């Protein structure tokens, strides 16, 4: 991590040096050491004092610093270059933060969208003579674009933040520049082009970086995906288990404002490693359990493989990096109790550590919710009677076990959120397992269409 932090300093200095030189040559066909020096003197402290500070507070940047940092900087650079080209051939109103803000809000979150809007606005304000008016216009426009980019689940709806930005930017320019109506078509055209670029660039950038927007996640969650088709064919029990888990986690995540789309789609893929050895997992067995004939240590190794195989498949098919995390973390480092108990019964004296899943323990709320759902679904399958009281007791016991084992130490869930998750999952389980009335037997001749009572 220290090496990466040192590398970041070098990259940022080179990055802003190249951008400053490009800006001068492209706009004014001139390069001055003074402009480069002044730019770096302001931009470097700004980046490491403000941008990096908020990046380090973001959970996703902590989980995958290289991926998220590189993606953030790449989008910022692309946006700056595009707007420098627009500035060259049009004028100041052609500059718009829509591309960078919407891209980062969709791929990361609202707050990172605000952050890139701040960085973008600061750069162009500095480039054009420390223009405070321009900074305010661009930053306000970016904030509006970020706000309307939240919770977008369709590519068609990307038009909403684009047109919102057009309206706000036009109003701002008219107010600040004494009703300069010539700016209206330039602003409209620039934002419209940037919207089209978002539609074209987003899916490719998602695939390259493995950082997916909710739009990309929903498209990935199509049940015709090759991995899901393979799972349904090779391990149908696991496939239907995954669908049940998806229902559990979606409602639970909504109750605590986590990401329901990530969890639903992640649930589909969380056990894809089982598709390679399906018969070693109880939901796919038909009366014959191959674990009865092998050493419990070997059984533990096989169960571990479904996690490591799942990670390999996620990388091969370029699934989102957060879904790879869900696959790795949904068992945490828990001990496989059945096989550890079998080891004790057979007096094999194999250490408990040999029966642990590889982990790591859940590192964010969504992976903890998936762990809880996976365990509670397994518990309910073994219960003879399902009611709110017994489910509540079993849920509390599960949470106590997870806390005692330290599985929830790093996920960030509060006790209040766990209670909301509990209520949501219990309600979902009871709804999925509701009882039906017993229909009485009625003679067929009485049910025949057209039958009339002659009496």
What is the pLDDT of the chain when averaged over all its residues? 92
| DSSP letters spanning 176-242 | HTTS-TTHHHHHHHHHHHHHHHHHHHHHHHHHHH----HHHHHHHT-TTSHHHHHHHHH-HHHHHHH
Tokens of 247: 């229902």
Which CATH number among 1.25.40, 3.40.1130, 3.20.20, 1.10.3210 corresponds to the domain 221-432?
1.10.3210
Q: How far apart are CA 173 and CA 243, in angstroms?
A: 51
In 3D, which of 126, 86, 120 has the Cα closest to residue 103? 120
Q: What is the residue whose two structure tokens read 């390259």?
A: 208
Q: Tell me the three state secondary structure of residue 438.
A: coil
pLDDT at position 225, please? 95
Residue with tokens 């696991």: 238
Q: What is the pLDDT of residue 447?
A: 65
Q: What is the CATH number of domain 2-209?
A: 1.10.1760
Partners of residue 335 on adjacent β-strands: 356
Measured CA to CA, the distance from residue 73 to residue 60 in angstroms comes to 15
Residue 356: strand pairing partners: 335
What are the residues whose beta carbons fall under 8 Å from the beta carbon of 32, sequence distance 6 or more?
24
**In the chain, where does the domain assigned CATH 1.10.1760 lie?**
2-209
**What pLDDT score was predicted for residue 48?**
94
| Low pLDDT (below 70) residues in the chain | 1, 179, 434-439, 446-447, 449-455
Can you tell me the distance from the alpha carbon of 218 to that of 209, in angstroms, rounded to the nearest whole number?
A: 17
Query: Cα separation of 191 and 99, whole Å?
Result: 8
Q: Phi, psi (5° rounding) for residue 411?
A: -85, -20
Q: What residues have CB less than 8 Å from 410, skipping those under 6 apart?
A: 360, 361, 362, 363
> What is the Rg, in whole angstroms, of the alpha carbon atoms belonging to the chain?
28
Q: CA 128, CA 133: separation in Å to the nearest integer?
A: 11
Given a contact cutoff of 8 angstroms between Cβ atoms, the answer to whether 301 and 291 are in contact is: no
Q: Where are the domain boundaries for CATH 1.10.3210 in the chain?
A: 221-432
pTM over 0.75: yes
Burial label for 289, CB within 10 Å (0-12, 13-18, 19+), is middle
pLDDT at 28: 84
Burial 422-442 (b: 16+ CB within 10 A, else e): bbbbbebbeeeeeeeeeeeee
């Amino acid at each position: 991590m220290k090496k990466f932090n040192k590398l970041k300093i070098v990259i940022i200095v080179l990055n802003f040096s190249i951008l400053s030189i490009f800006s001068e040559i492209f706009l004014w066909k001139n390069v001055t050491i003074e402009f480069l020096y002044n730019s770096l003197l302001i931009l470097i402290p700004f980046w490491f004092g403000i941008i990096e500070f908020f990046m380090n507070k973001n959970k996703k940047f902590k989980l995958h610093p290289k991926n998220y940092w590189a993606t953030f900087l790449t989008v910022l650079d692309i946006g700056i270059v595009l707007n420098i080209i627009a500035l060259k051939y049009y004028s100041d109103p052609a500059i718009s933060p829509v591309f960078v803000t919407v891209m980062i809000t969709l791929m990361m979150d609202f707050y990172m969208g605000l952050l890139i809007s701040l960085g973008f606005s600061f750069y162009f304000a500095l480039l054009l003579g420390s223009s405070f008016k321009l900074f305010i216009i661009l930053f306000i426009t970016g904030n509006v674009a970020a706000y309307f980019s939240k919770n977008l689940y369709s590519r068609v709806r990307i038009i909403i933040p684009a047109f919102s930005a057009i309206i706000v930017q036009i109003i701002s320019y008219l107010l600040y520049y004494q009703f300069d109506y010539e700016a209206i078509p330039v602003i409209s055209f620039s934002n419209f082009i940037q919207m089209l670029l978002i539609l074209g660039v987003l899916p490719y950038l998602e695939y390259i970086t493995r950082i997916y927007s909710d739009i990309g996640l929903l498209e990935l969650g199509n049940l015709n995906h090759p991995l899901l088709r393979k799972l349904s064919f090779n391990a149908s029990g696991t496939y239907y288990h995954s669908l049940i888990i998806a229902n559990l986690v979606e409602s639970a995540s909504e109750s605590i404002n986590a990401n329901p789309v990530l969890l639903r789609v992640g649930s589909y893929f969380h056990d894809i490693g089982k598709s390679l050895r399906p018969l070693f997992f109880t939901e796919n067995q038909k009366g014959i359990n191959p674990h009865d004939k092998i050493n419990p240590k070997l059984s533990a190794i096989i169960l571990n493989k479904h996690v490591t195989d799942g990670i390999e498949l996620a990388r091969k098919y370029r699934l989102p990096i957060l879904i790879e995390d869900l696959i790795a973390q949904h068992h945490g480092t828990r001990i496989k109790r059945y096989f550890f108990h079998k080891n004790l019964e057979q007096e094999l004296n194999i250490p408990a550590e040999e029966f642990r899943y590889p982990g790591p323990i859940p590192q964010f709320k969504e992976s903890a919710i998936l762990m809880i759902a996976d365990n509670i679904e397994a518990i309910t399958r073994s219960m003879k009677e399902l009611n709110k009281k017994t489910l509540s007791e079993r849920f509390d016991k599960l949470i106590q076990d997870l806390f005692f084992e330290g599985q929830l130490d790093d996920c960030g869930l509060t006790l209040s959120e766990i209670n909301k998750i509990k209520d949501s999952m219990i309600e979902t389980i009871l709804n999925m397992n509701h009882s039906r009335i017993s229909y009485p037997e009625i003679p067929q001749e009485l049910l025949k269409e057209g039958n009339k009572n002659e009496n």
